[in-house]
Structure 1
Amino acid sequence: MTNQTILQIEGLHVSFQTYNGEVKAVRGVDLHLDKGETLAIVGESGSGKSVTAQSIVRLIPSPPGVIKSGTIRFGERDLTQVPDQEMYKIRGSEIGMIFQDPMTSLNPTMTVGRQITEGLQWHHDFGKGEALQKAVEMLRLVGIPNPERRIHQYPHQYSGGMRQRAMIAIALACNPKILIADEPTTALDVTIQAQILDLMKELQQKMETAIILITHDLGVVAEMAQRVAVMYGGKVVETGRVDDIFHRSRHPYTWGLMDSMPRLDQKREDDLIPIPGSPPDLLDPPRGCPFADRCPHAMYICHEEMPAWTEVSDSHQVSCWLEHPDAPAADRDEPAARVNIR
């Protein structure tokens, strides 16, 4: 780990035991997060984004879930190995998390103020009065009006946008080094989404918190992130800075994500180009590239072996057989010839 890297994930494998067999949800993920940056993890539902994020804070339900192998280094600690008691102290205090649906994540039987003060008293030994004052400050910081009154209200008395702001207040109350935001704006309308994103950026600058943003919304990625990891079939298939992914992407799956985005110059909804087919069955994952069955550029070897990483630049890496020197040149708009490059 470099001086700037605060989180390093290497070779992470996570599985879930089911009646039908072992679901290999995450298959060898490597990622890093630098101090103060925002890393976006994007991909379709079922690609392994949320499981990767939940593994960092050990929130994978066990059973049926298990971290089978790999390391998650946070400073000098491997989070896959620390005792549960130490993990309780790390969650909330050093790593905060904003969940996808605040209505189901907030406790409906507790006031919002109590849910904020709980973490402060647990992690920092705040007295009741001091913790309540800090909770009021946090609600004011995240833009909730009249926080002295609102702090005594229950989640059902908040609007959707206010509940998400309350979730952010809870996650940031202990000033964590890392904030994991799992689809933080999915349930909100567009206007409130923009407000929440602006709030997260503002708080990140004030508190110097690094953010892992889990999303399928590439517009949110363009607004928030400095780096992007594209996941598919439990694997990371391309990583790079935002400009690399949006303007110089090299993986056909990333091309598919970009082509399925609505653009201002499109006049009809049917101009959107969906990715044909379905994600792979992770009960029996493919031995080659997970995208091969849906890829218009797939070659024979794509189905047989997983491609190695290619360094496109210092900031941009891709795992695709099209980068092999013997592969045919790939036109993004035309399928490649089916050749064997063994």
Structure 2
Amino acid sequence: MAKDNSKVLLDVKDLRVSFDTYAGEVQAVRGTNFYVNKGEALGIVGESGCGKSVTVKSLLKLIPMPPGRIKTGSAMFNGKDLVKMSDKKLESIRGSEISMIFQDPMTSLNPTMKVGKQIMEGLIKHQKMSKKEAKERAIEMLRLVGIPTPEKRVDQYPHEFSGGMRQRGMIAIALACNPKLLVADEPTTALDVTIQAQILDLMKDLQDKMNTSIIMITHDLGVIADIAQRVVVMYGGLIMEEGTVDDIYYNPQHPYTWGLLKSVPRLDNKKKERLVPIEGTPPDLFSPPKGCPFADRCEYAMPICKEEMPEKTSITDLHAVSCWLQHDMAPDVKNPVTEGRKK
């Protein structure tokens, strides 16, 4: 099943984002192309500093501008280009049509405002509700995200909530106006494993109920497997590989994706195998490499890898990879992730 333009909610093309610093230009995002369908969850995965958060935050102008700037690109959302949109128009979309859940709920919630009032703000602004209607909706949202005794909790401050409840409160704020797209930036990082699972279950449940599209930004491949239908693998400000969850987990084609998967513990390993870290460090984005950004850390790198960025190769309609190993003249390298795995 190829990309169906009638189902696409957000379509990002050739996005390039830089930060101008005293030391020079940091090329954080260097030409990304991806899309999100209506009602779909897309995972964006990669190491810290690979450009995941900057890619999505820049579309909503949630990065400081300056020093940040969008150099080129378009982001068509419901037929409107977010990149060309005025700040005022974008402000009317943020929180109503596109909402964001941030990484740390303790710093994202206002500590001086009651949680209920923080939910009510967006409802009063975007939905033009009265205070009474907004408070009733805030209680309903807190109940929807699984917070007990919402009638009491609506009048409490963030410090009176546990970490998991604060994150649920953030989700309640994000979903209050029934957005078409929910961006979740590492939403489970600060939470313990049990609460993580509850938050992911909640997000999947709400996605089913409200048919909201989700962009899940994370470095945790377990989170992606649990919630996303398609995955984009980023490195050095570029997309290395993209495909369905099954493509990425069961038939990955890029050595960077192999490295990510090999560094995650597997439940079907009977012998005590050591986790394999990816040696080396990410590229310097002040002066990005002209070839593949992963070449210096890749055990399969060839001279061409450092000289020229490979073209995107389609494996299937939805699975594509940018790697010189796909070239007809490249050596035959066995996939270390699928090799030896039980059929």
Distance 1:242 1:266 in 2: 21
- 3-state secondary structure, aligned to 2:84: coil
1:270: how far off? 6.5
| 1:272 corresponding residue in structure 2 | 275
| 1:258 corresponding residue in structure 2 | 261
Cα displacement string for residues 220-249 of structure 1 (whole angstroms, at most 9, x for unaligned residues): 111101000000000001000000000001
Distance 2:36 2:261 in 1: 24
| 2:340 corresponding residue in structure 1 | none
| 2:213 corresponding residue in structure 1 | 210
Cα displacement string for residues 279-302 of structure 1 (whole angstroms, at most 9, x for unaligned residues): 000011000000000000000010
Cα displacement string for residues 22-79 of structure 1 (whole angstroms, at most 9, x for unaligned residues): 1000000000000101000000000000001102211111111011110011011110
| 1:22 corresponding residue in structure 2 | 25
- Mapping of 1:105-116 within 5 angstroms? 105-116=108-119
Task: Give the TM-score normalised by the residue count of structure 1.
Answer: 0.96
Cα displacement string for residues 87-128 of structure 1 (whole angstroms, at most 9, x for unaligned residues): 110000000100000000001111101100000000011000
Cα displacement string for residues 201-221 of structure 1 (whole angstroms, at most 9, x for unaligned residues): 000001000000001111111
Distance 1:61 1:55 in 2: 9
Task: Give the TM-score normalised by the residue count of structure 2.
Answer: 0.95
| 2:71 corresponding residue in structure 1 | 68
Q: Do the aligned partners of residues 180 and 269 (structure 1) sit closer, same or farther apart at CA in structure 2, a change above 3 Å counting?
A: farther
Distance 1:127 1:136 in 2: 14
| 2:319 corresponding residue in structure 1 | 316
Unaligned runs of 5+ in 1: 335-342
Cα displacement string for residues 261-311 of structure 1 (whole angstroms, at most 9, x for unaligned residues): 011244787710000000000011000000000000000010010100001
Amino acid at match of 1:264: L
Given candidates 235, 238, 245, the residue that maps to 2:238 is 235
Q: CA RMSD in A?
A: 1.3
Q: Is the Cα–Cα contact under 8 Å of residues 253 and 335 in structure 2 kept in the other structure?
A: no
Q: Percent identity?
A: 63
| 1:51 corresponding residue in structure 2 | 54
1:182 is aligned to 2:174: no
Distance 1:76 1:198 in 2: 31
Distance 1:295 1:332 in 2: 13
Distance 1:220 1:75 in 2: 27
Distance 1:63 1:85 in 2: 18
Moved more, 121-130 or 53-62: 53-62
1:294 is aligned to 2:297: yes
Cα displacement string for residues 187-212 of structure 1 (whole angstroms, at most 9, x for unaligned residues): 00010000000000000001000000
Structure 1 ranges of 4+ moved more than 2 A: 265-270, 331-334
Moved more, 257-266 or 14-23: 257-266
Unaligned runs of 5+ in 2: 338-343
- 3-state secondary structure, aligned to 2:261: helix
